[in-house]
Amino acid sequence: MNRNQHKPMFVTFLINILLLQLLNLTNASPSPPITALYAFGDSTVDSGNNNYIPTLFQSNHPPYGKSFPSKLSTGRFSDGKLATDFIVSSLGLKPTLPAYLNPSVKPVDLLTGVSFASAGGGLDDRTAKSSLTITMDKQWSYFEEALGKMKSLVGDSETNRVIKNAVFVISAGTNDMIFNVYDHVLGSLISVSDYQDSLLTKVEVFVQRLYEAGARRITIAGLPPIGCLPVQVTLTSINTPRIFHHRICTEHQNDDSRVYNQKLQKLIFGLSQRFRSSKVLYLDIYSPLIDMIKHPRKYGLEETLRGCCGTGLLEAGPLCQPLSRTCDDVSKYLFFDSVHPSQTAYSVIASFALQKLFPLL
């Protein structure tokens, strides 16, 4: 099917989504203040849970964290804060969003939010199992465990109030596409469209779980421009010798991300109609990232297709080590390693979300 055939359908669904959101804003009474933020998914929202499990997907070592307060390597896959850290700070909940498995996290901390996410994981539990990280099912088990701790501390009624007025963030899918489609030996045997549909089914099931647990403010992140991740740019250039010295985005992967995001918005529209007493919203991360790539100077950036760590071509996680050289000024880099955005990029994503999305919650 011609990819352009998706565009009219997408525009229709987008208009419907905007109308529904405007209708909700017009008819609904002012929303109660946000009580907490709970994150599920992959490295984009993992505050350091992988520090406490046996996996190679860890970043609790320099140069990770070089821009974090006290230059602390917390396990975040970036030089500093993640978008969720900026968001909870802007909401006045806490300075940063802690990892649930961090032993320093106390039951009272759960009342304002934690991250259950795991770097290397995905919507497809096979993704996390292949990287020995925390599956979405296990993340859900940790959430249920946290609910028990909260109820023991403040009782059922107060816990239910916190959950009802909290924001839930689901951010995953990139690893699924990279591990199981683009960089997998069996990738050529998998229909991209069918695999996307299977991931979206898992999103739907997870949202259903959240709703049944009392969640009423749910945000679901779309995919980034996967073809512009430095590691994907590198792998494409290796496989295409004629462009080896010219780093350019892999457009068919970006096309796939856009199609997935269109499907996700269609799903979210359906979920919003099904769960009338809730707000299920699309968190667009593709737009701010691609805008930073196309218009770097607007954001004070100079390098957008190469990471700050090492050569910036392939290094990430265990390959980005204390002895790895880093760029002179990470604030001018869109990516810190070959996969993960810099603190600068995450701050832009957070600002975009706070301006475009959070007023609707």
Residues assigned a catalytic role:
43, 337, 340
**CA separation for the pair 133, 181 (Å, rounded):** 19
**CA separation for the pair 192, 198 (Å, rounded):** 10
DSSP state letter for 101: T
Q: What end-to-end distance do the CA atoms of the chain give, in Å? A: 36
- Within the chain, residue ranges assigned H as helices are 6-27, 83-90, 107-110, 125-131, 136-154, 156-164, 174-177, 192-212, 230-239, 251-274, 286-294, 343-356
Tokens of 319: 């390959």
Taking residue 106's Cβ as centre, other Cβ atoms within 10 Å add up to 11
Q: Beta 303-307 vs 333-335: how paired, if at all? A: parallel
3-state secondary structure of 104: coil
**CA separation for the pair 281, 197 (Å, rounded):** 19
CA angle 282, 146, 117 (to 5 degrees): 45
